[in-house]
């Protein structure tokens, strides 16, 4: 069973297993968002859900106990959500990450 992974960057699908240069470029573009949300679990919960909510069109609320959000952090989360674009829109920095699939299995987004 061979695996294939695809990521769409700026609307252009890239097979990250067959195109190391494209994979590195995709990683370089998405790295700031990854680093921002993965500073810690509390940070991920505080800001990651805001990024997800913004992209999904859902509200995000704080629940105690949680890391207090800051104006700077909220601005970063809003900027990253905007760069990533709404889910399913086909726009933004990263619009699709498909799970590995079997050889011969086609992607519904091809």
The predicted-structure confidence for 76-100, as pLDDT tens digits, reads as follows 999 999 888 888 776 666 444 433 4
67-94 burial, b at 16+ Cβ within 10 Å, e below that, comes to beeeeebeebbeebbeebbeeeeeebbb
Position 106 pLDDT exceeds 80: no
Token reading at 67: 């890391």
pLDDT at 110: 31
pTM: 0.62
Label residue 23 left, alpha or beta by phi (over 0 means left) and psi (-120 to 50 means alpha): alpha
pLDDT at 87: 83
Q: Can you state the percent helix, strand and coil of the chain, rounding each to 5?
A: 45, 10, 45
Position 5 pLDDT exceeds 70: no
């Amino acid at each position: 069973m061979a695996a294939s992974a695809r990521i769409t960057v700026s609307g252009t699908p890239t097979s990250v297993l067959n195109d190391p240069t494209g994979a590195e470029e995709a990683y370089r573009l998405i790295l700031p968002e990854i680093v921002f949300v993965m500073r810690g679990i509390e940070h991920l919960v505080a800001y990651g859900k805001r990024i997800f909510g913004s992209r999904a069109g859902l509200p995000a609320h704080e629940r105690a106990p949680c890391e207090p959000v800051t104006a700077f952090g909220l601005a970063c989360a809003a900027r990253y959500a905007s760069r990533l674009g709404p889910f399913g829109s086909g726009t933004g920095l990263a619009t699709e990450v498909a799970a590995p699939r079997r050889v011969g299995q086609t992607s519904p987004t091809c």
